[in-house]
Amino acid sequence: MRLGISLGNSFRVPTREIVKTVAEIGFSAIAPSMPLDGGEFDIEGIKKSADACGVTLPFIHAPFLHAAALWEDAGEEGELGVSEIRRGIELCEKYAVPSLVVHAWIGFTPSAGPTALGFERMDALVKKAAACGVSLAFENTEGEKYLFALLDRYKSEAHVGFCYDSGHEQCYNRGRDLLALYGDRLLVTHLNDNLGISDKGGRIAPTDDLHLLPFDGKIDWEGTVRRLKKSRLPEVLNFELNIKSKPGRHENDAYERMTYAEYFSEAYRRAERVLRLIEN
């Protein structure tokens, strides 16, 4: 297996410059994220930098701020959610990126569940992805019922599968073993650590999603690896990590005090530890 790392857009230098740093450290794959605000996405520069460094792009991460509107809003907001995913599919096709990671939902307030409008829109996106030769990897986030509904609806579609986020499983999914449910359809991993749900009453909050380096939180990595080894492991073992703390939290502050070379070097060492557990 090769080691990969997700790269967002919140660095002090352009993301394309970070690619060289992580490649020199040892990562052989990078996964860029489309900007959440719909701003300019330097996929051209990122891809050129990756090609120059011999690094591959196994997937792109789609925006997700309009994921709920896609199901609920028949107007502009809902169509924006659709257009963001459609654009992600088109970029994957243009730059020969195999997969697009998609959030099925966003939000922590009770919702009615999947709708006919949402399924109609998703059906069209799944069809477009197939025509473009792109796989859609739906990620476990909050709103499990939307993830379950999509993976059930498209269970016969080989290009639709699961993006497993180990940290989300611990907080958003309350530790539920999602690999037991969808490990056979695993397309992408977002491996990271966290401390679980912080609220003593059990209320889930987005600030619990810390994306710590592996072994800095409470995740049982030996147990997680056992479950991964029973799954359909992708070629790239990808890590999705945050160098910055969430608002009001400070667990990641020590990372931000590091240089980028120091941080990504430590991330690579942790990734190698996880890989050794898999290989052994």
Q: What is the pLDDT of residue 110?
A: 84
pLDDT of residue 21: 97
Give dist(CA 112, CA 25) in Å, integer. 46
Half-sphere exposure of 36 (CA within 13 A, CB side): 9
Whether the CB-CB separation of 100 and 137 falls below 8 Å is answered with yes
Domains and CATH numbers, the chain: 2-279 (3.20.20.150)
Q: What is the pTM of this model?
A: 0.97
CA distance 145 to 105: 9
Residues of the chain with pLDDT under 50: none
